[in-house]
Chain A
Amino acid sequence: MNTDHYLTLSALLFTIGAVGVLVRRNAIVVFMCVELMLNASNLALVSFSRAHGQLDGQVAAFFVMVVAAAEVVVGLAIIVAIFRSRRSASVDDASLLKY
């Protein structure tokens, strides 16, 4: 089985996620873009796993899912806290720290 198409798709998803992080303004959307990047990595891991004919990559994908879930908990807690004190989740509004 040729896994090249899946790798291309994963590279595409990763790029969309990375560009999204850089251009979007809402912290939640930025965070969703990071999740997209992690899932693109999962797709790459599983495709490579298939290409190599072993399970290591698939097992790694499970680890990544658990880590991503933990990251959601921490990330949403921080973003909700900042939204409640500022009434805004825009990453541009949080600009007290500079220079």
Chain B
Amino acid sequence: MTEFVAPTVEYGTILPLLVVLGAAVLGVLAEAFAPRRWRYPVQVGISITGLAVALTTTVLVGLGLEEVGGGLLARGSLVVEGAVAVDGPTVFLWGILLVLSLISVLLFAERRLEGGLTGFAGQAAALPGTSAEREASTHGVEHTEVFPLMMFAVSGMMLFPAAGDLVTMFVALEVLSLPLYLLCGLARRRRLLSQEAAMKYFLLGAFSSAFFLYGIALVYGFAGSFALGEIDRAVSASTGANAYLLGGIGLISVGLLFKVGAAPFHAWTPDVYQGAPTAVTGFMAACTKIAAFGALLRVYYVAFGGASWDWRPLMWVVAVLTMVVGSLVAITQTDIKRMLAYSSIAHAGFVLVGFVGVYDGGEGGTGLTSLSSVLFYLTAYGFSTIGAFAVVTLVRDAGGETTDLSRWAGLGREAPLLGGVFAFFLLTFAGIPLTSGFIGKWAVFAAAWAGGAWPLVVVAVLVSLVAAFFYVRVIVAMFFSDPVGQAPAVAVPSMLTTAVIATTAIATVALGVVPGPVLELAEQAGAFVR
């Protein structure tokens, strides 16, 4: 009988994660014990406080990271017995996830647009179109559970790119996905669409995570360990092709590429983005993508770095397919949320271009690496995405949000400021100079070019031109065509949504005009620890 050895847990280092999880649990308790009319302010307070405290501790953790040394520009360490890797990229991703989540909470908490209630179903159990549903909304019943659910999702997103072994990564994947499945089904308006989106997201998400898990099992069979560092050693030591390893890489790729929404695993994206409540769509489009790309980079660069000749051809194909499908299909879309969904697919393709470059910054590993360029791209993309979806929540008619593109005609003349801001976000997505999208695209293309993936860069630039077409088409419709029938009204939001749109627009301008500080921060993040 061997003696039980208690594991060491570095509570100080993983504090941001614990704070967010703690806030989520506190939110569940508040839901159970707080009187109904107090729940909304209490939940919003807990969420905002939790995220702000977590952000502060993230900065402190980031300042305290120690350099690894040994010729590798990396700082940080593996904590909690190797289950969590707190290093430069992790802290950068935590920071950006927390900032974007903080912005999303404000969007979740918006109440003025629906006459004093949040944009979530009053009572999810009440059937759509029945008296029970009307009763719930006249009595002002609302689901404040959305805030704890969101906090659980955020904690999963934080753990996902920080996972030091594959089991932790799988658990984090589910912790981030399960609350999102529920949030997708909770829209106040168009509930059948919302429920359908939730079911599609759930079934396909569960399907893909089963592939992910079988991939983990195969890689475990090959390496005899779940730890990414151990897998790396086994990959480097092996000679020739191993069926378990190749099968494992393939299946794990399916799971991760599904989450980032890359073709050919993108089919869920437009349906879910359209059906989900718009606040959730914005949150999910920005934060899930960031977390999933963080995990993708960590798995491929740390665990499968030695086998990059095996997976790079695969990723080349996926990157080209994703860019082309996202940009071409977006042209034919008639719904603004669907169009933004396809645009996010195209953006996933651009990020993948930076990812397959596998450029470590040359001698000494300084300067712009694949990793830092992707981190910057995700930051730029996250802000403008949440901003764009926040604008979508404001264009309304009697039936709720008006997402049909034909109804957006003439909107720019109706509301010049809002139309201008939305046009600016679209130009950012298109990558026009002086916007953050341009700097992001330039960074990932430069890294991919330096890494020898120049054919991909050429394709990416051509696709960007095609993509610019459908963004500009929306702008032209908004400013230069006459409204069809009655023009949609632009609702006046409370301070919350105004703050979201203002913050994201300012961040997008700032990242485009003075990208230096954030770019430098991304470079400072350095490499992953092993």
- Minimum CB distance partner of A62 in chain B: B167
Residue from B125, B196, B203, B213 in contact with A96 in the complex, judged by beta carbons closer than 8 Å: B196
B218 at the binding interface (Cβ < 8 Å): yes
> Hey, which chain A residues are within 8 Å of B271, CB to CB?
97-98
Contact indicator A17/B181 (Cβ below 8 Å):
no
Residue from B202, B216, B274 in contact with A97 in the complex, judged by beta carbons closer than 8 Å: B274
Interchain Cβ contacts within 8 Å, total number? 126
> Hey, which chain A residues are within 8 Å of B200, CB to CB?
94, 97
Known: A17-B210, A34-B206, A60-B226. A74 touches B217 (CB 8 A): no
Q: Interface residue count for B (Cβ, 8 Å)?
A: 43
- The smallest C-beta distance from A4 to any residue of chain B, in angstroms, reads 11
Contact indicator A37/B171 (Cβ below 8 Å):
no
- Minimum CB distance partner of A30 in chain B: B203
Contact indicator B225/A31 (Cβ below 8 Å):
no
Could you tell me the dominant secondary structure of chain B's interface residues? helix
- The smallest C-beta distance from B19 to any residue of chain A, in angstroms, reads 22
- Minimum CB distance partner of A57 in chain B: B220
> Hey, which chain A residues are within 8 Å of B274, CB to CB?
97
Contact indicator B127/A84 (Cβ below 8 Å):
yes
Known: A34-B210, A38-B210, A48-B220. A75 touches B196 (CB 8 A): no
Contact indicator A85/B220 (Cβ below 8 Å):
no
- Minimum CB distance partner of B334 in chain A: A99
B468 at the binding interface (Cβ < 8 Å): no
Residue from B124, B174, B207, B216 in contact with A81 in the complex, judged by beta carbons closer than 8 Å: B124
- Minimum CB distance partner of B181 in chain A: A74
> Which B226-250 residues have C-beta < 8 A from chain A?
226
B170 at the binding interface (Cβ < 8 Å): yes
- The smallest C-beta distance from B117 to any residue of chain A, in angstroms, reads 20
Q: How far is the CA of A96 from the CA of B196 in the complex (A)?
A: 8
A16 at the binding interface (Cβ < 8 Å): no
Contact indicator B199/A27 (Cβ below 8 Å):
yes
Nearest first, the 5 A-B pairs at minimum CB distance are A37-B210, A48-B221, A44-B217, A97-B271, A41-B213
